[in-house]
């Protein structure tokens, strides 16, 4: 399809087409910012290009590419095949998850984790936002911070995220979680928060993605997730690993507060167990 409209594209759009011609399969793992950087064009050019192909936007285009890849490639995601026995399947997934954690560790910037920890410790209120599968991780993170004695709140609904971002202010901290870094509801809300001088930490796979434009600190995850596998457990494993390190570091720095609150919260639910 790209070849059929190539001559009608602008020079900038042709740059996008040229990159995709040689890297179509790889593009399903890129953010819109990644493709724009590879093509040396603006993000709006990428979106305009996708619309000329008949797609609503870049995400819609990636989904179509990923679907075509599955249809034409017998070796699906993570090289798992229909011929695999349950034992082989378990071995492959285990190896993949181990690799995810190892690769996540390699992306960690200690100075960024330390700064994120200090800002959270000093915060008046901590918000943790995420949509979809990242929203579930946001709820887990809020639960952990609450049990450590922090005034923490999570939100997964786009309206609640936007309203919380509007009322947050200086001295507050927001953790925004998005594997793609391109979740529009979250990015739009963080823009509002940034205007209110909120300190923003984002947890994402893509260093150059829309969400990072409003982040004071970017904590990177490492996972290979195509549009057809959005919400894959491997993404959650990577996010959880970073959050586990961050919360444990904060707990060590704030031992008195953490231990006191952990005891109180444990006692509060002690009669809920048999």
CATH code, domain carrying 165: 3.40.50.10490
74 pLDDT more than 50: no
- Give a yes or no: residue 82 inside a domain: no
Residue 231: per-residue pLDDT: 53
SS3 223: coil
- Give a yes or no: residue 63 inside a domain: yes
Tell if the pTM clears 0.85, that is, is over it: no
Burial of residue 122 (CB within 10 Å: 0-12, 13-18, 19+) is exposed
- Counting the structural domains of the chain, the total is 2
- Give a yes or no: residue 86 inside a domain: no
For residues 14 and 121, membership in a common domain is answered with no
For residues 117 and 235, membership in a common domain is answered with yes
For residues 65 and 144, membership in a common domain is answered with no
255 to each of 119, 141, 227, 250, 262, how far by Cα in Å?
16, 18, 41, 8, 10
For residues 100 and 164, membership in a common domain is answered with yes
Q: How does pLDDT run across 190-249, given as a tens digit for each residue?
A: 999 999 999 999 999 887 788 999 999 999 898 765 555 555 788 899 999 999 999 999
Q: Which of 72-86, 150-164, 198-212, 240-254 has the lowest mean pLDDT?
A: 72-86
- Give a yes or no: residue 3 inside a domain: no
Helices H, strands E: what count in the chain? 12, 5
Q: How does pLDDT run across 91-116, given as a tens digit for each residue?
A: 888 888 888 898 888 888 899 999 99
Alpha helices in 108-232 (DSSP H): 110-122, 133-147, 158-167, 184-195
- Measured CA to CA, the distance from residue 246 to residue 248 in angstroms comes to 6
For residues 67 and 124, membership in a common domain is answered with no
Mean pLDDT over each residue of the chain, to the nearest integer:
88
Give me the residue label for tokens 């200086």: 170
- Give a yes or no: residue 102 inside a domain: yes
Q: Could you give the percent of the chain with pLDDT greater than 70?
A: 91
* Phi, psi angle pair for 89, to nearest 5°: -60, -45
CB of 43 within 8 A of CB of 32? yes
- Measured CA to CA, the distance from residue 190 to residue 218 in angstroms comes to 13
What length does the chain have?
274
Q: If pLDDT is split at 50, 70 and 90, which confidence band does 53 have?
A: confident
Q: If pLDDT is split at 50, 70 and 90, which confidence band does 75 have?
A: very low
- Measured CA to CA, the distance from residue 80 to residue 88 in angstroms comes to 9
Range of the domain at 115: 96-272
């Amino acid at each position: 399809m790209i070849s059929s409209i190539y001559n009608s594209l602008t020079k900038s759009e042709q740059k996008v087409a040229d990159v995709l011609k040689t890297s179509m399969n790889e593009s399903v793992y890129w953010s819109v910012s990644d493709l724009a950087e590879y093509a040396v064009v603006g993000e709006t050019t990428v979106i305009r290009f996708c619309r000329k192909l008949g797609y609503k936007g870049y995400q819609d285009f990636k989904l179509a590419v990923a679907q075509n890849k599955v249809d034409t490639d017998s070796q699906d995601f993570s090289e798992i095949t229909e011929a695999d026995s349950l034992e082989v399947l378990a071995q492959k997934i285990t190896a993949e998850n181990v690799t995810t954690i190892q690769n996540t560790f390699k992306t960690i910037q200690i100075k960024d984790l330390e700064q994120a920890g200090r800002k959270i410790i000093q915060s008046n209120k901590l918000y943790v936002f995420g949509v979809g599968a990242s929203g579930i991780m946001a709820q887990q993170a809020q639960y952990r911070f609450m049990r450590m004695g922090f005034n923490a709140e999570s939100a997964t609904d786009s309206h609640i995220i936007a309203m919380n971002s509007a009322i947050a202010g200086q001295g507050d901290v927001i953790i925004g979680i998005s594997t793609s870094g391109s979740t529009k509801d979250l990015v739009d809300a963080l823009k509002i928060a940034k205007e209110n001088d909120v300190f923003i930490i984002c947890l994402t796979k893509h260093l150059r993605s829309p969400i990072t434009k409003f982040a004071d600190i970017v904590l990177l995850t490492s996972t290979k997730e195509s549009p057809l596998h959005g919400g894959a457990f491997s993404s959650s494993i990577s996010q959880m690993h970073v959050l586990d390190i961050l919360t444990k570091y904060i707990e060590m720095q704030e031992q008195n507060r953490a231990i006191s609150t952990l005891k109180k919260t444990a006692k509060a639910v002690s009669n809920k167990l048999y």
